[in-house]
Amino acid sequence: MADLVLNLGGTAYGGWTRINMHRGIEEIAGTFELALTERWPEHQQPLVITPGAACSVAIDGQTVITGYVDAVDHGYDTNSHALTVTGRDKTGDLVDCSAVHAKGEWRNARIDQIARDLAQPFGIAVRISGDMGAAFPAFAIEPGETVFDCIERAARQRALLLTSDGLGNLVIGQPGSERVGTALKCGENLLSAQARNDNANRYSSYSVLGQRAGSDQVSGGAAAQVKATAADAGVTRHRPLVIVDEDQGDIAGFQRRAKWEAGVRAARALTYTGAVNGWRHADGLWQPNTLVQVYDPVLRLDRQLLVRDVDYVMDDQTGQISQLVLTPAEAYALLPVPAKKAPGRKNRRDDDEDFF
């Protein structure tokens, strides 16, 4: 059985009777909730843990969350006392707090420089994984947005993903390519599993309409409107979706957008949830952003999937289990989003386009 401790000011607190930790590739801050309920020893006082205290959580000596205690709940009755501690990675401050930096704008800066400037006051380092893309000729904080909103807006324009490494750092990179050697197998290590196929956001055809700049060769109606299409063969009834791209582009770019919409929406339709004993596989902890082979004849799955979320759970009834949420890796194929030119608008797609 794995050993979990909460480290505060050089003191390690263990013996938790209920544990729930969550990490995922769609959140930049891991979270934890640790609880302890025990009988009153005559001489013992409740543990003193202060909200706002810097802390880290480690499993078998491997740090998985580095951040702060958000809240502490104490309670007791005549027979026992109870303590519950919740907290998050340091990167949680980037989600909560407003973006503030000098004049609030950058010239010819790459995303990692923008992220470092915004994260530095919080004591958060930025790690990069892969190509960060071209520098932004101009990039500015939009009124009222948080640090995360600002960096995510830049990340979308460079087709990059924001995650946390569990050590208090912000990571900017691509969806993972690391493969786990341990497969998930029905009848072996899977305690339970569920597959959800949801076609609500899939369409039979995708048409992307846009404009391209005029030239001596391209003018009038040919420049005013460009149309690209893609189909999803998995949707057999008539379900068209027309997307208006507000930015100028070319037919090749609009075609990529149409194919991306079809591919990503089809991949996101499948979600596989599985529970396994323990928090570790043969090579280490179950981690988000890793690829796992799934063999599940009951649910008719035999394919490689990407771990989207991991919950490390322990209580009196279940013992230690890992709850995994997986999806096809194609669901996180990233497409650069052009900066929108309209002043004061956030760089986000309309709700019916941005279903992430």
In a domain, residue 350? The reply is no
pLDDT number for residue 222: 52
For residue range 173-209, what is the model confidence (pLDDT) as tens digits? 988 878 999 999 999 999 999 999 999 999 999 999 9
In a domain, residue 212? The reply is yes
Residue 219 has pLDDT above 70, yes or no: no
**Same domain membership, residue 274 and residue 193:** yes
**Same domain membership, residue 248 and residue 295:** no
pLDDT number for residue 213: 57
In a domain, residue 145? The reply is yes
Element at 5 (helix H, strand E): strand 4-8
DSSP class per residue in 199-243: -TT--SEEEEEEE----SSS-THHHH-EEEEEE-TT--S--EEEE
Most confident of 45-59, 87-101, 199-213: 87-101
In a domain, residue 338? The reply is no
pLDDT number for residue 215: 52
Identify which has the larger pLDDT, 139 or 334: 139
**Same domain membership, residue 227 and residue 104:** no
**Same domain membership, residue 124 and residue 15:** no
**Same domain membership, residue 211 and residue 83:** no
Number of domains within the chain: 4
User: Can you give the CATH number for the domain in which 163 is found?
Assistant: 3.55.50.10
Number of Cα atoms under 13 Å in the Cβ half of residue 275: 10
**Same domain membership, residue 152 and residue 59:** no
* pLDDT-based confidence at residue 346 (cuts at 50, 70, 90): very low
Cβ neighbours of 52 (radius 10 Å) = 11
* pLDDT-based confidence at residue 343 (cuts at 50, 70, 90): very low
Domain end residue (candidates: 55, 72, 88):
88
Average pLDDT for 261-279: 95
**Same domain membership, residue 141 and residue 125:** yes
Residue 211 has pLDDT above 80, yes or no: no
For residue range 132-182, what is the model confidence (pLDDT) as tens digits? 989 999 999 999 999 999 999 999 888 899 999 999 999 999 888 789 999
**Same domain membership, residue 143 and residue 133:** yes
Domain of 251, in residue numbers:
205-268
Q: How far apart are the C-alpha atoms of 19 and 4, rounded to whole Å?
A: 9
**Same domain membership, residue 274 and residue 194:** yes
pLDDT number for residue 298: 96
Query: What does the radius of gyration of the chain's CA atoms come to, in whole angstroms?
Result: 24
Q: How far apart are the C-alpha atoms of 204 and 288, rounded to whole Å?
A: 31
Residue 28: helix, strand or coil by DSSP?
Answer: coil
Residue 279: helix, strand or coil by DSSP?
Answer: coil
**Nearest-CA neighbor of 308 among 319, 284, 285, 292?**
292
- Per the CB < 8 A criterion, the answer to whether 257 and 245 are in contact is yes
- Per the CB < 8 A criterion, the answer to whether 112 and 126 are in contact is yes
Give first-to-last CA distance, the chain, whole Å: 36
User: Can you give the CATH number for the domain in which 8 is found?
Assistant: 2.30.300.10
**Nearest-CA neighbor of 294 among 223, 212, 193, 150?**
193
Mean pLDDT of the chain: 88
In a domain, residue 341? The reply is no
* pLDDT-based confidence at residue 353 (cuts at 50, 70, 90): very low
For residue range 277-332, what is the model confidence (pLDDT) as tens digits? 999 999 999 999 999 999 999 999 999 999 999 999 999 888 999 999 999 999 98
pLDDT number for residue 212: 67
In a domain, residue 153? The reply is yes
User: Can you give the CATH number for the domain in which 241 is found?
Assistant: 3.30.1920
b/e burial code for range 275-307 (CB count within 10 A of at least 16 → b): bbebbbbeeebbbbbbbbbbebeeeebeeebbb
In a domain, residue 179? The reply is no
Average pLDDT for 74-94: 91
